Structure 1
Amino acid sequence: MDSFYEALSDVVVRVKDKDSVLLMGDFNARIGNRTEGYEKVMGKFGEDMEANRNGKQLLDFCASMGLVITNSFFKHKNIHRYTWEGRGTRSVIDYIITDQEFRKAVRDTRVFRGFFDDTDHYLICSEIGIVRPKVQEFISHITNYYVTSKTAPKLAKKHQNWQKSTVMGKKQHKNCFSVTYHVDTPGQYIAKEL
């Protein structure tokens, strides 16, 4: 592995511990479309050719770092796949690369032609959806109530979605104590506060 990939791997290792990795640019590498041994790194829609030396280096680097080359996961017409055109030839040498976890957010990667006049490279873009962590969402409302021995059974029966979390302690009033309840939907309770 040359000095470029050694330096890049140092950066990826530092970033990957804290955040998602997103690499974009001209890697001057042709990865082809042969996925044997690189199934986690690339999809089946790469350029129709064998990987060149730089492409193999890029594939090995991505495999060692747990990265994914997003260009190869989405089927497009050739004009939306080739990132470079010059000297009578065209190829895919520009890539958008991310870690395997962030790959789930990438909805598409493709080339857009006609944006730049002063380069032989085309604009490559990824459509990225926002990934929200799967957290059970519910609104909880925590309130302290003074419940008498007469109202407690009625409240418990009427509001079975209440969860008794803590008893705050007995109060001075006879047959009266303080209880904290978690209520899923605020405003759906009737309680007599003393």
Structure 2
Amino acid sequence: MSIETWNIQEIATKTDELFREIKRSNMDIVGLTEAKKNARCTEERHVYIHIYSSVPKEERARSGVSTVQMDLKGHLLSIIVAYAPNNDANMADKDAFCTEMTKLLEKISDRKEIMMIGDLNARTGWRVDDPIVELYDETTRVNRTLLKILNGWFKHKQIYQYTWRQSPRKLRSIIDYIVTKQKSRHLMKDVRTFRGFECGSDHHLLVAKIYLSFKRKNESHENLADPNTADVRYNLYNLQDKSTRFLYQLRLPTKLLTMQDDTVNNMYQTVKKKIHKAAFEALGERQ
């Protein structure tokens, strides 16, 4: 499967063009940054579910981080989409963003995989055999000890490494990243930019190719719905958000459609498990 990030620099005037490019690229999951859309909504676009929200201008530094909890083939995955303040931002906004990101990472359970994607407006360093950045990246530094930046782990020509360009001044840089745990159980096959997709942005589409094996049922979170597990609690306050509520309303009937005729007791247990699974995927588990 593929997970991508793309700084689209405003979506309002090019929504149709953007989703044509997304469909053409056959993306599985894409985190869009700097959309500048003044609304909160969940909508269906082609074969995709588009989730977005806006916040007051004075809160944007703190809200430059959003998360989605997913179950991919039995793997629990927290996807973090981030848009960090740039170099021109004041120090208070930068500190607020870093604080919010740190709090979010600390809340994620150790048994969950992490995939952080987005425009981090930062640079990494060159270090051979480094567990964080590896060799094939830019200058400066990063010091997140439990994560690794995947941009530098696969050898590519420089034109497939740069994520941003400014044509008039011939400037290029790597400021969009895909980050995961150092000890991730996922097999990362490749990370690179693709230059053939356009939406009026000076950023390139950054793509990670990932191999996910199916987990056996007893290894997945479906056990959370077992009748012997009585202490599972979900983030019910998330239902106050319209997009989350819509996602739950979409997930539950979809799962119930796959039910088969059985004994009353077995059907009851099946419905119970599917309700738990839909709640976990849409709401997330309370830590």
TM-score bracket, shorter-length normalisation: 0.5 to 0.7
Q: Equivalent residue for 1:76?
A: 156
Task: Measure how far apart 1:19 and its partner are.
Answer: 1.1
| Alpha-carbon distance in 1 for matches of 2:111, 2:207 | 24
Decide whether the 8 Å contact of 1:70 with 1:103 is kept in 2. Answer: no
Q: Is the partner of 1:25 in helix, strand or coil?
A: strand
Q: Which amino acid aligns with 1:31?
A: T
Larger radius of gyration: 1
Q: Equivalent residue for 2:106?
A: 13
**Aligned pair in 2 of structure 1 residues 102, 23: CA closer, same or farther (>3 Å)?**
same
| Alpha-carbon distance in 2 for matches of 1:117, 1:8 | 28
| Alpha-carbon distance in 1 for matches of 2:109, 2:151 | 21
**Larger relative contact order (CA 8 Å, sep ≥ 6):** 2
Q: TM-score, normalised by structure 1?
A: 0.56
1:23 counterpart (116, 125, 132): 116
Task: Measure how far apart 1:11 and its partner are.
Answer: 1.0
Q: Count residues in correspondence.
A: 122
Q: Equivalent residue for 1:2?
A: 95
Q: Which amino acid aligns with 1:70?
A: L
Q: Equivalent residue for 1:113?
A: 195
| Alpha-carbon distance in 2 for matches of 1:41, 1:112 | 23
Moved segments of 4+, more than 3 Å: 131-134
Identity of aligned residues (%): 35
Q: Equivalent residue for 1:128?
A: 210
Task: Measure how far apart 1:7 and its partner are.
Answer: 0.9
Task: Measure how far apart 1:5 and its partner are.
Answer: 1.7
Counterparts of residues 96-111 of structure 1 (less than 5 Å): 96-102=178-184, 104-111=186-193
Question: Which structure shows the higher helix fraction?
Answer: 2
Task: Measure how far apart 1:92 and its partner are.
Answer: 0.7
| Alpha-carbon distance in 1 for matches of 2:113, 2:155 | 24
List gaps (5 residues or longer) in structure 2: 1-93, 217-287
Q: Which amino acid aligns with 1:71?
A: N
List gaps (5 residues or longer) in structure 1: 135-194
Q: Which amino acid aligns with 1:99?
A: K
Task: Measure how far apart 1:34 and its partner are.
Answer: 3.5
Post-superposition CA distance 1:136-163 (Å, at most 9, x none)? xxxxxxxxxxxxxxxxxxxxxxxxxxxx
